[in-house]
Each structure stands twice: as structure tokens, then as C-alpha cells.
Amino acid sequence: MIAAIEGTIASRTGDRVVVRTSGGVHYELAVPVGVLERLPADGKAVTLRTVLIVRDDAWSLYGFDREFERRVFQRLLGATGVGPRLALAMVSALGGTRVVRAVKGGDLALLTTIPGIGKKTAERMVVELKDRLADLASAEAAADAPPPAADQAVQALVNLGYAPADAETAVRAVLSVDGAAAPAELIRQALTQLAKRRS
């Protein structure tokens, strides 16, 4: 099992980051928006905790800079019908803390704002995961902090009437160019992205 990747950031595109290790091996990892936002500049050192998903047709690595979010991602995979792509979308859209709160609190309205999650899927996730997330309560409390800039930007765009999927895509596009943008700047640039798509 690959537990972590340590090296320098070689490149990033969308939600993908390529890390070059000291041995010259390049690993491509899919990461949540929050992780993408917190990554250092290209060429800088980084360590990402990983989850390796092995399937018949491919091996995929998912990277996290915080153990808490990695554990949330792994627990989500235990729910019926939740694969790595949907689990990553949940952590991207809500962040680990809000995912735990939504599932524990049975917040179906929040869960169904995530593309790919309908009411029945949300209900099933709450039933299946509520107890499995119980031991993360103390970690979730410790992680209680203002949401990352990306989360704030996505939520602000949703409040303005944009679809969650469109808001997330626009924020991802901005972060792929400027991973250190503050919430206000993220929102401004994301609005520009959304305006271009409508024109």
C-alpha cells in the first residue's frame, strides 16, 4: 500500500497534481479542492497522505494534506453506491468537517447539493455512515474552523443562484491557475469564468 507521497510539485491540472519524488518517479494524484487550494507553488516540497484504489482497469491515487479528510474519504467509500469519484466530490464541495456534520445530522438538503447525490442516496448514506463516523467526532471538533477559501467561494456562488456543480467547476478552474487566491478573489475570478461560459 502507498500510504504517502513525498516530493516536489511538478504540475497541476484541474483536480490532478503530479508529485515528483526524490527517486525521479512522478505520481499523479486526484485531490479535493481544499487540498488544491492549500498546496504550495510548483517546485516546492509537499507531502500528501494517500488512498490507493485498485481496479481491474486502473490504479488511482487520491491525495490529502490532512489526515482527517483522508479518513473521511475512506469512510465514505464504505457506503453503498459511493465510489472514489463521488467521495472526492463530497470532500471537495463540503470539506471533511461539513461532510461529517451533514451525515451525522442527517442534513439531506446539504448532501443533495452535491452532483450525483439524490435524496435516496443521501438517505442511505446517513443510515449507513452515521455510526461509522462516530469515532471521528473528536477529530471533527478539533478541525472546527472557518471553511477553506474554496468552500467559501463555492457556497457564495451557490447563494448567488449558480448550480453547485457549475460553482465547483469554476472555482477549480481558478485554483488550477492561482492556488493561493483568497475567498473574495476566488469568487471574483470564478464569476468571470461563469460569465464566459454563458456568453
Reference 31, options 13, 56, 44; nearest CA is 13
> Do residues 35 and 63 lie in contact, with contact meaning Cβ atoms separated by under 8 Å?
yes
- Per-residue pLDDT, averaged over 4-30, amounts to 93
Reference 35, options 63, 7, 72; nearest CA is 63
The pLDDT value given to residue 148: 66
| pLDDT band at residue 4 under the 50/70/90 scheme | very high
pLDDT tens-place string over residues 164-186: 778 877 887 787 676 666 778 88
pLDDT tens-place string over residues 121-153: 999 999 999 888 877 755 555 544 445 677 788
Instruction: Please determine, for residue 50, whether its predicted confidence score (pLDDT) is greater than 90.
Output: yes
The pLDDT value given to residue 139: 56
| pLDDT band at residue 74 under the 50/70/90 scheme | very high
Instruction: Please determine, for residue 31, whether its predicted confidence score (pLDDT) is greater than 60.
Output: yes
Q: Output 69 or 154, whichever has higher pLDDT.
A: 69
- Per-residue pLDDT, averaged over 1-28, amounts to 92
Structural domains present in the chain:
4-64 (2.40.50.140), 67-142 (1.10.150.20), 149-198 (1.10.8.10)
- Per-residue pLDDT, averaged over 95-115, amounts to 88
Mean pLDDT of the chain: 85
> Do residues 8 and 26 lie in contact, with contact meaning Cβ atoms separated by under 8 Å?
no
20 phi and psi angles, rounded to 5 deg: -100, 120
The pLDDT value given to residue 30: 95
Percent of the chain with pLDDT strictly greater than 90: 40
The pLDDT value given to residue 144: 44
Three-state DSSP class for 153?
A: helix
